[in-house]
Amino acid sequence: MLKRVFFSMLLLAALTPAFSQQTDSRIIVNADQGEHTISRQIYGHFAEHLGRCVYGGFYVGEDNTDIPNTNGIRNDVIKALKELKVPNLRWPGGCFADTYHWKDGIGPKADRPTIVNVWWGGVTEDNSFGTHDFLNMCEMLDAEPYLAANVGSGEVQELIDWVQYVNHGGVSPMSDLRKENGREEPWGVKYWGVGNEAWGCGGNMTPEYYADVYKKYATFMSTWRNEEGIFRIASGASSGDYKWTEVLMQKLPPSLVEGLALHHYSVIDWNNKGPATGFSEEQYFTTMQRALHMEELVTRHSTIMDKYDPDQRIALVVDEWGGWYNVEPGTNPGFLYQQNTMRDAMIAGTTLNIFHNHADRVRMANLAQTINVLQAVLLTDEEKMILTPTYHVMKMYNVHQDAQLLPLTLQNVDYELNGQKLPAISASASKDADGNVHVSLVNIDAKNARTVSLTVRGTEKGSVSGTILQSANLSDHNTFDNPDKIAPKTFRGFQKNGDQLTVTLPPFSVVVLAVE
């Protein structure tokens, strides 16, 4: 079992004499002691029928001649997400999933019924983007599809048919229907969510009731995916609802579940979320309190899971995470469109470090959401598209995908504001298949640069290089008029002496070092 001390911010008293007074913190990475793999699936994304995420984001229609596309899917979006190495994509929701009937989105598009999106803005959708469109897009992205099934307003047979439609290669009513609709071979979908937020928009269920509902649905999800089977993900807890996790782990037979979800957003106050830009340092500090709370949530939910699943067979799947603010002025409040600043880069960098350091249990996650919604990696405006600071962090970090997690010890320093404290430095490290070591460092301090004494032990690799994401102001962001205001740059703020590096991290910056 992974020892939690790798990222516990312990004060290593025995190491104190080795510091100079100018050193804020110290990190020791043990490159020869890795045990667990950082699953690339941690870098998943989320595409809900919400605002302009699908329609106007991913999909602009086959008849669009102004925006280059392939079968209606934006070419620039595909290119950007492939460079991000997106491993999986969750669809069609979210809350929308429990009102979505998949058969409405197959067959000739002119014959498809419309649907009113009661969750997000009350808009009418024409179902022109459906199962074939999504799964074919995932093939374009080289990403695993993650389908969220309708449990709230659907029926078991509806899910049985969907699994058969996308996964069964032989003769059956649903595979025959798929072939009639132009797809000969099945897609082989592995990841399936059995409902979404069953405690809320998915039905306002109790954990005891949902556990029984889940068992019914999971029982009839045949493993039509060759020898690999399918990966069933139960609707898990909201943030600190530890009872939900306890009940599901007690009641769900291990043979019926492969993953347990967790949702947590970095929200200042659900009734007063604050602006996405032009926020105060106090608002920033509170946002980072919420983001760093992920460490406690993952630890405590994992501890409950360990009690019932000591072999850690069941994955903790954080399939919704990110920052949530008030929508941009003048936009539809149901579309959840917000800008993306250096604050969001801080959320992304620290959260991914937390996931890395819990790689024994956290084996899949999904940022909410991919395009034009919440903490998006891409924003679009007609033919224009920009990359956000969150995009850049996730691209800098993708060197960790499927790499070996390296244990580290971290003596930290505090970021203080109005008598409150947060750990200023966040870190994680991994070793790739070629033996190269990568260390991710985040300084969340809004005002102070921090110096880190970094020692990498157990490797003969010695050449060091780095990349940094930083800007002059926390509220800085990329716009359609200035799309490259924030972009990664070569980092030279370190000095090397043997196996020790002295690294200077500017305020609110993200750095990835490579030891090759």
Catalytic residue numbers, as ranges: 197, 320
Angle ∠(495,498,504) on CA atoms, nearest 5: 25
Residue 103 CB-density burial (10 A; 0-12 exposed, 13-18 middle, 19+ buried): middle
Note the maximum CA span of the chain.
74
Q: Which residues are CB-neighbours of 482 under 8 A, at least 6 positions away?
A: none
Q: Closest by alpha carbon to 310, among 265, 268, 254?
A: 254
Q: Closest by alpha carbon to 304, among 207, 403, 204?
A: 207
Question: Is the peptide bond prior to 113 cis by the omega test (within 30 degrees of 0)?
Answer: no
Please give the DSSP secondary-structure letter assigned to residue 196. Answer: S
Place of tokens 């090759």: 516
Listed in order, strand segments (DSSP E) in 60-112 are 69-70, 73-74, 88-91
Q: What are phi and psi of 193, to 5 degrees?
A: -95, 130
Distance CA 245, CA 238 (A): 10
Distance CA 15, CA 455 (A): 12
Q: Closest by alpha carbon to 147, among 225, 40, 203, 70?
A: 225
| Both tokens assigned to 284 | 């920033």
Q: What is the dihedral of CA 120, 125, 130, 136, to 10 degrees?
A: -80
Handedness of CA 458, 461, 466, 467 (dihedral sign): negative
Q: How far is CA 335 from CA 121, 328, 349, in A?
A: 6, 10, 25
Neighbours of 361 (CB within 10 A): 23
Q: Which residues are CB-neighbours of 174 under 8 A, at least 6 positions away?
A: 161, 162, 164, 165, 168
Q: By the 8 A CB rule, do 262 and 236 touch?
A: yes
Neighbours of 422 (CB within 10 A): 18
Angle ∠(180,182,187) on CA atoms, nearest 5: 105
Distance CA 509, CA 516 (A): 23
Q: By the 8 A CB rule, do 256 and 221 touch?
A: no
Q: By the 8 A CB rule, do 391 and 35 touch?
A: no
| Both tokens assigned to 174 | 């649903």
Q: What are phi and psi of 262, to 5 degrees?
A: -150, 135
